[in-house]
Amino acid sequence: MEILNLPIESQQPPAENLLRYPPSPPATQSSSRRDSSVSCDFELQKLPHNVHESEPESFRTYPLPPRSRPDNNVLAEDLKTPDHHVARDPRLIRLTGTHPFNVEAPLSELFDEGFITTKDLHYVRNHGAVPLVEDSETMDWEFTIEGMIETPIRMTLAQLINEYEQVTYPVTLVCAGNRRKEQNIVRKTKGFSWGAAGLSTALWTGVVIGDLIKAAGPKRGAKYVCFEGADKLPNGYYGTCVKMNWAMDPNRGIMVAHRMNGEPLPPDHGKPLRVIVPGQIGGRSVKWLKRIIVTAAPSDNWYHIYDNRVLPTMITPEMSANMPDAWKDERYAIYDLNTNSATCYPAHDERLALAGNIQTYRVRGYAYAGGGKRVTRVEVTLDKGKSWILANISYPEDEYRLAPEGEELFGGRLDMSWREACFCWCFWYLDIPLSQLQAADDILVRAMDESMMVQPRDMYWSVLGMMNNPWFRVVIHKEGHSLRFEHPAQPALIPGGWMERVKKNGGNLSNGYWGEKVSGEEEIPVEEEQAKEICMVGKDVTRIITIDELKSHDNENEPWFVVNGQVYDGTKFLEGHPGGAASIIGAAGQDASEEFLAIHSENAKAMLVDYHIGSLDESSRTALADGGSAAGISPAPRATFLQSKAWTKAILSAKKKISDDTKIFTFDLEHANQTSGLPIGQHLMMRLRDPVTREAIIRSYTPISEVTEKGKLHVLIKIYYDIPGRKGGKMTQALDSIPIGHFVDFKGPVGKFEYLGRGLCSIQGQRRTVKRFVMICGGSGITPIFQVLRAVLTDREDPTTCLVIDGNRVEQDILCKADIDGMVADNKSKCRLLYTLSRPEPSWAGLKGRINKELLEKEIGTCRSTNGEDLVLVCGPEPLEESVHSILKELCWKDENILFF
């Protein structure tokens, strides 16, 4: 392919990229989907009011913050949490439910703000509640410096400002979980799903931490500086550490900050005082700072040990629960960020029209490196890495280095001219001809830093899902006269992205080729670990709870909540919950299923057993889902379970293994006297939700239960597992993996055929009398056949006869064989039963081969004048149904006498 010969702007961006005050005229070149998007020129937006008032009207060439929103308020979802005092921007995407507050901005809006991010869209990582500090209290905020020092210090924020030199630095903070959603799609980690916007840049003002430590006088042997915040959590106050030599190195830029973008710190960002550690993961930049402790060893804080680690990839979430030595191994602690990049434009689902005068498209994104290193190149490939194109790089951070000596910004010295370390993200862009985009399947980007460390092609999965930095891939879809672009994933529970799509379609995301099989290369299948069944209910708990009783515990003293129709009392866990008591209190009286199952690990799900107190009755579940109350609940339970226009939940109560790949799943109905309400010959729909995307998986099945059976529903299901060269069944594998106590949604009845008994049928509402059923089936297609056959053979007054032809590969694949053999043995005059196997064992004495024309012609013959008294029922895999239909047409059977279930 043609290689664009574009230079890397490693020293200075072009003149039109300079960020100036007063602002330059806006650039017009943009091929983005939105007219308001900012191109890679990053024009300076108007300054906040405090900057206009305090700064001289001089000519500046470095970026200043865009104006923040003046109208943010406390959001409705925060009113019932401890964060009811914190105003927030509604655009932020919540990643962990209502509380604690963990958010990122929509990627396009973050990018559009430019180099500096407003407090409105800056990402937030909170482990619990935000400490409440009134404005009148901020200057009296105290913190200490203690530990291995000569002179312990206790000082207020006012003293910090008045007695120490203030500096202002631009710093990009990045959560170690940035891009974790991609890891969670491959395999669920213990962390929640960050998208690619878990980073932001601000101007921070404060005191260089080395000045404070020098004043305290560190003792010989001191090697670490530990930080502790004021956010009280179940396992103590949040804390972590950095190495002493980093803290004392002015080139590292570690500071204790009290202003953000010229304003006092907002509550979510550490009001009134925090640590800023450039070049390291955001988890080291402790907020609401209370203690600085100088030590000889790394921090022993619970959060330093059990958070922000990359454990070896072979350690699973289950294994990690019993490996304290691995968690404490400092080799696995994360300090410096790794090199990473992402594409922001084209945005996810952006469409680019191919018609018109536009000849090129500007692809744009961000890149960053860790430990003060500089991103030295960004490369783009349109052919999956066979060839690469150098992208242009813009370094807005360099503009601060050009500020005049002694320049102050927001009350702090802009001390950047001498510094070699890079603290911030940079931006890359590349103009690509539309003809090349049209010919490509995807756009991939990778960055390299000055140590020649380059982003890897393949993902390094780890139990916490941190530091995810493989090549960022955007897929290109050709749709008529336009191109549509698809990012890898969307944050939180937002569906979308090629990774989810590929996984749904059976692709192996771990094969090194993004789930796609490469031409000419044999794909080696990866054997995935079988999902472990997790029981979330107490086996001896039988209590039934109404919505009235549930709602009476909608309080902070005894918070009850619902997961999968089961009621849990969170009172005993209020002090122990990692997200704080507010996480449980916020769910009190509510159905927390979706958020709980999406966010929590297998270990957390298993813990629910200890808090299980009963089951919510079905009427209450419906009312709860609809937002209703006890007044809207009918006291009379339904006699039949299925509803044609609404989904109804049943609880999985048992799994019985029939063969290596077949099980009977038993579900408890709403009450013991309830029947399924499923007519003979019809089927029902079952619905589960994809654990990653929360999208519904819906399939139709025919239970093997007797229609008169009460309280239970039995469904025989053949589980199609993944095998080399073939992806298995999504629904059957999902059913196989859900734990006892999990609910499944049902709706029905569905189907155009119903057997009314003694030869009388209803087909699409029209009644018809049948004297003989010809039943042709294969695999799990036996289940609807079984229902009709049982109805005929168990009614001694039913004159109808049956011919059953059941085709399978091996004898073990014949489902319901013992039951069918027994029924036929008692009714030989009414039924002829034939089994045929395509891959029989030598001991097989029955028919051999597939169901073919020779067999059907011999057994049922050509079409004869039956006056519609024969009806062929067909159910099985699609190839079987198509083959049988073609053969019957050749034998002159009319479609009106052939019915496919």
Q: Which two tokens stand for residue 19?
A: 């960020």
Contacts of 226 (CB under 8 A, 6+ apart): 147, 239, 240, 241, 291, 292, 293, 294, 295, 299, 301, 304
- Among residues 803, 795, 658, the alpha carbon closest in space to that of 716 is found at 658
Contacts of 385 (CB under 8 A, 6+ apart): 444, 457, 471
CB 860 within 8 A of CB 774: yes
Look up 73 and say whether it is catalytic.
Answer: no
Q: Where are the alpha helices (DSSP H) in 776-865?
A: 782-794, 817-825, 853-859
CB 327 within 8 A of CB 309: yes
Amino acid, res. 280: Q
Q: Where are the alpha helices (DSSP H) in 176-295?
A: 180-186, 209-216, 244-248
CB 28 within 8 A of CB 4: no
Active-site entry in 178, 184, 308, 508: 308
- The CA distance from 833 to 802, in Å, is 8
Q: What H or E segment, with its residue span, contains residue 700? A: strand 696-701
| Bridge partner list, 762 | 754, 767
- The CA distance from 527 to 504, in Å, is 17
| Bridge partner list, 153 | 145
Transcribe 490-522 into DSSP letters: -STT----HHHHHHHTT--TTSSSTT-PPTTS-
Q: Which residue has the tokens 């092609």?
A: 457
- How many angstroms separate the Cα of 571 from the Cα of each of 181, 235, 806? 31, 17, 56
- How many angstroms separate the Cα of 422 from the Cα of each of 227, 279, 586? 23, 8, 41
- Among residues 492, 121, 125, the alpha carbon closest in space to that of 308 is found at 125
Q: Where are the alpha helices (DSSP H) in 647-757?
A: 730-737
Amino acid, res. 252: R
| Parallel/antiparallel/unpaired status of strands 289-295 and 142-147 | parallel
Active-site entry in 307, 398, 442, 591: 307
Look up 307 and say whether it is catalytic.
Answer: yes
- The CA distance from 518 to 384, in Å, is 11
Transcribe 620-667 into DSSP letters: HHHHHHTT--GGG--SSPPSB---SSS-EEEEEEEEEEEETTEEEEEE
Beta strands in 159-273 (DSSP E): 167-174, 199-208, 224-233, 236-243, 255-260, 263-264
Q: Which two tokens stand for residue 610?
A: 């200890």
User: Nearest 5°: CA angle at 667, between 665 and 671?
Assistant: 165
Contacts of 779 (CB under 8 A, 6+ apart): 718, 808, 813, 815, 876, 877
Q: Give me the sign of the Cα torsion angle 12, 116, 455, 345.
A: negative
Active-site entry in 40, 175, 761, 802: 175
Distance, first Cα to last Cα, the chain: 52
**Collapsed DSSP state (helix, strand, coil) of residue 888:** helix
Q: Which two tokens stand for residue 807?
A: 């085709």
Residue 175 annotated as part of some ligand binding site: yes
**Looking at the chain, how many residues does it have?**
901
Look up 745 and say whether it is catalytic.
Answer: no
**Active site residue ranges:** 175, 307-308
Q: Output the known binding site for Mo-molybdopterin.
A: 175
Q: Output the known binding site.
A: 175
